């Protein structure tokens, strides 16, 4: 099997030259990278969401693009448009920033729903349809989106359909006192992000994405995943539980996490680690749409309610 854990270790060590602490968040970002899934980084401003995404992107020898989402952003600003050439009398397609390998959608909830929807086809089918012509996006194609959950004025909440396209929703949170002191020391004289060099080739990423699905998942662990997802739909306060797409996302993410951790089989602990990041943003609690903490509690209640399977390693 491809040395996915070696790839993850190289990228993790490179990212740690910029990001202080947050090892758990970086591990989950690497898991999403291997699984080929998109990530929504949601937290208050200044917690390093954009820097974290940039550090990961610069650690890979892949094309990178950034879109600053604003209320006046148009779908064509995201996907591209056909431009008329007066000299030749023909239309030619000018590709937008989505024609890249890693896309940073910064402050995605500041754009209108029309502009947000321009990413739907890109994120799910990895293609862009414009003027009746479908153009595939080169792989790997990953979207790292950021948003501020606190500020409401001038923002447009992501609809359920778009939230469901994200493999994970992560919140970096504030650093500890020791991490804050180390951060000040690291950024005292220069920005380490400016000197970050790639440590993994595009071919390495593609090989990892092609190989991770061979990771063994026992019947007991698959049953555990199904039981967790079904349990989220059984709570009286839940209006919308985890969909089959969310269940498949938890399976793929668990396989990728096992590979990142150097194993060729999935354990129940892998599933438990990923349950909140992968499932919570797919749940709507009655009367509390957009309340991440309420959805998180539903997943935690499901984890407590569903027995954890135990079996010997394969």
Q: Higher pLDDT residue, 28 or 131?
A: 28
**Looking at residue 272, what is its pLDDT?**
93
Q: Higher pLDDT residue, 233 or 91?
A: 233
**Looking at residue 43, what is its pLDDT?**
82
**Looking at residue 284, what is its pLDDT?**
84
**Looking at residue 168, what is its pLDDT?**
93
Cα angle vertex 97, ends 278, 172, to 5°? 35
pLDDT at residue 149 above 80? no
Give the lowest-confidence range in 28-32, 132-136, 164-168: 132-136
Calpha distance 250→255 (Å, rounded): 9
Mean pLDDT value of segment 117-131:
85
pLDDT at residue 288 above 70? no
**Looking at residue 311, what is its pLDDT?**
59
Q: Higher pLDDT residue, 286 or 233?
A: 233
pLDDT at residue 150 above 80? no
pLDDT at residue 290 above 60? no
Residues whose CB falls within 8 Å of the CB of residue 112, separated by 6 or more in sequence, listed in order: 71, 73, 156
**Looking at residue 141, what is its pLDDT?**
92
**Looking at residue 28, what is its pLDDT?**
93
pLDDT at residue 9 above 80? yes
**CB neighbourhood size of 130 (10 A):** 18
Mean pLDDT value of segment 41-51:
82
**Looking at residue 194, what is its pLDDT?**
84
Q: Which pTM was predicted?
A: 0.88
pLDDT at residue 236 above 60? yes
- At residue 295 the predicted structure's pLDDT band, cuts being 50, 70 and 90, is confident
**Looking at residue 179, what is its pLDDT?**
85
pLDDT at residue 314 above 70? no
Mean pLDDT value of segment 175-193:
85
**Looking at residue 224, what is its pLDDT?**
95
pLDDT at residue 289 above 60? no
Whole-number percent of the chain with pLDDT over 70: 96
Average pLDDT value over all residues in the chain: 87
pLDDT at residue 50 above 70? yes
**Looking at residue 2, what is its pLDDT?**
65
Mean pLDDT value of segment 178-205:
87
């Amino acid at each position: 099997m491809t040395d996915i854990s070696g790839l993850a270790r190289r990228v993790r060590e490179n990212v740690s030259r910029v990001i202080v602490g947050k090892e758990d968040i970086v591990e989950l970002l690497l898991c999403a990278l291997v699984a080929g899934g998109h990530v929504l980084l949601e937290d208050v401003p200044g917690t390093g969401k954009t820097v974290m995404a940039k550090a990961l992107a610069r650690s890979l020898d892949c094309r990178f693009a950034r879109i600053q989402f604003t209320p006046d952003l148009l779908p064509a600003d995201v996907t591209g448009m056909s431009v008329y050439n007066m000299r030749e009398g023909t239309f030619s397609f000018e590709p937008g920033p989505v024609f890249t390998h890693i896309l940073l959608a910064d402050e995605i909830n500041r754009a209108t729903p029309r502009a947000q929807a321009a990413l739907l086809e890109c994120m799910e089918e990895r293609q862009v349809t414009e003027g009746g012509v479908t153009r595939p996006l080169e792989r790997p194609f990953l979207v790292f989106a950021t948003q501020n959950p606190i500020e409401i004025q001038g923002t447009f909440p992501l609809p359920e359909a778009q939230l469901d396209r994200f493999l994970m929703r992560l919140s970096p949170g504030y650093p500890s006192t020791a991490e804050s002191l180390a951060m000040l020391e690291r950024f005292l004289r220069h920005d380490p992000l400016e000197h970050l060099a790639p440590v993994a080739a595009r071919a390495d990423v593609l090989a990892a994405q092609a190989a991770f699905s061979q990771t063994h998942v026992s019947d007991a662990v698959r049953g555990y995943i199904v039981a967790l997802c079904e349990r989220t739909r059984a709570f009286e306060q839940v209006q919308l539980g985890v969909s089959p797409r969310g269940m498949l996302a938890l399976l793929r993410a668990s396989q990728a996490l096992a590979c990142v951790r150097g194993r060729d089989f999935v354990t129940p602990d892998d599933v438990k680690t990923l349950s909140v990041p992968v499932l919570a943003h797919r749940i709507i609690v009655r009367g509390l749409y957009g309340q991440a903490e309420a959805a998180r509690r539903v997943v935690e209640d499901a984890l407590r309610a569903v027995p954890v399977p135990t079996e010997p390693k394969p």
